[in-house]
Amino acid sequence: MSKANTETITPSVKESADPYVQRILEAARQLFTESGLEAVSMHRIAKRAGIGQGSLYRRYTDKGEICSALLLDSTERFLSGMEQQLAAGTGGSSSLARLQSSIEQVVDFIEQYAELLNMIKSEFTGKKQLTQFEHPFFQRLGLIMAELLQRASAGGEIIGIDPRFAATALISVLSPDLYLYEQKRHGSSKQDISRGIVTLFVTGLAGR
């Protein structure tokens, strides 16, 4: 397992107010970088942080929640930026062109944090018995994609398809596990993956 990209992540202001949380996140960051996500247990995180497991579990129930905390500021900046772009209007670009740009931005973000995002998704869907689409990150992303597809549909830019369904299908493909699978199993580059998704959901939906 490759080492997780955690070097540029900093805890949020809210989290840093709790010294235990700060110690937990720093310990997790170090261990994830050293050993990779899958090799690190909650026990190891507590030990590295110098706290009891009870103190750890009172703050985080699993590694997915720790990964979410590590990524909190990064995901918020990313999603807020995309929402601001959406609110800014077309700017002279077609809705399909903006959809393509959004897909490419998401793939860029996934490339940076694929291991952490995959752990968040796995813990969320596994222990909580929920789907990926119910996670707040993917919910907000889905709303952005649905709005872009709705605008493309209203402007006659795409074939007759339900924009909401198309957005859900797109979110299922914009997934860290698909990214890691393609990268590790088939040696796909970020550009390969981005091009494949754009071909399916931009070129493939474009009105003839």
Q: Tell me the domains of the chain and their CATH numbers.
A: 13-59 (1.10.10.60), 72-203 (1.10.357.10)
Over residues 138-145, mean pLDDT: 94
pLDDT band at 125 (very low <50, low <70, confident <90, very high): confident
Q: Indicate the residue type of 201.
A: F
Task: Quick: pLDDT tens for 36-51.
Answer: 888 899 999 999 999 9
Q: How many C-beta atoms lie closer than 10 Å to residue 109's C-beta?
A: 22
Q: Do 36 and 3 contact (CB within 8 A), yes or no?
A: yes
Over residues 75-95, mean pLDDT: 87
Structure-block tokens of residue 149? 């597809």
What is the share, in percent, of the chain residues with pLDDT greater than 90? 58
pLDDT number for residue 119: 84
What span, in angstroms and rounded, lies between the C-alpha atoms of 2 and 184?
10
Task: Give Cα 15 to chain centroid, integer Å.
Answer: 20
Phi-psi domain of 11 (left: phi exceeds 0; alpha: psi -120 through 50; beta: other): beta
pLDDT number for residue 68: 86
pLDDT band at 14 (very low <50, low <70, confident <90, very high): very low
Any bridge partners for residue 158, and if so which?
206
Task: Quick: pLDDT tens for 160-199.
Answer: 999 999 999 999 999 899 999 999 999 999 999 999 999 9
